Amino acid sequence: MLWRTGARLLALLFAGVGPAAAYEPRINYMLQCMGCHTPDGSGEPGRVPSVKTTLVPFATSAAGRRYLVQVPGASQSTLSDAELAALLNWMIENLSAAKPDRFTHFTAAEVASFRRTPLVEVRATRERLLRSSTQWSKER
């Protein structure tokens, strides 16, 4: 099984050699994000926080959506705005512990509107969002 996945990945890598290589979100996640976020998004305690329960609540507020795009791992990736939008949508749908019943998909335009503004105080912003999303789930 594992070698099959490996062989498929290699084939994809070689097929993708060239300037206009565009990968599907799952592959972009494997290539650019999984090293830190781990295959299921649970991260690494003390270094990379789990995104399994944060993506859905964050994606429901304007401040949360801005954070998801501006966080360094996302904003500073080499992906295009459209690829990053598709990847964030994929992460929300595939890594969340509870599947979102409804959420507004990111578009390239929304990603572009937030991405170039650097996020200062990443950790503090995350903490603030976590507090307000707890509030959000209580009020719901």
Residues lying near ligand HEC in the complex (CB under 6 A) are found at: 32-33, 35-37, 48-49, 51, 54, 68, 71-74, 77, 87, 122-123, 126
Nearer to ligand HEC, 51 or 81 (CB): 51
Nearer to ligand HEC, 51 or 114 (CB): 51
Smallest separation (angstroms) from ligand HEC to the CB of 66: 11
Nearest to 50 by CA among 61, 64, 39: 39
Nearer to ligand HEC, 37 or 115 (CB): 37
Q: What does the block give as tokens for 86? A: 């598709």
Smallest separation (angstroms) from ligand HEC to the CB of 9: 16
Q: What does the block give as tokens for 9? A: 């990945």
Cα separation, 2 vs 114, whole angstroms = 38
Is the distance from CB of 26 to CB of 90 less than 8 angstroms? yes
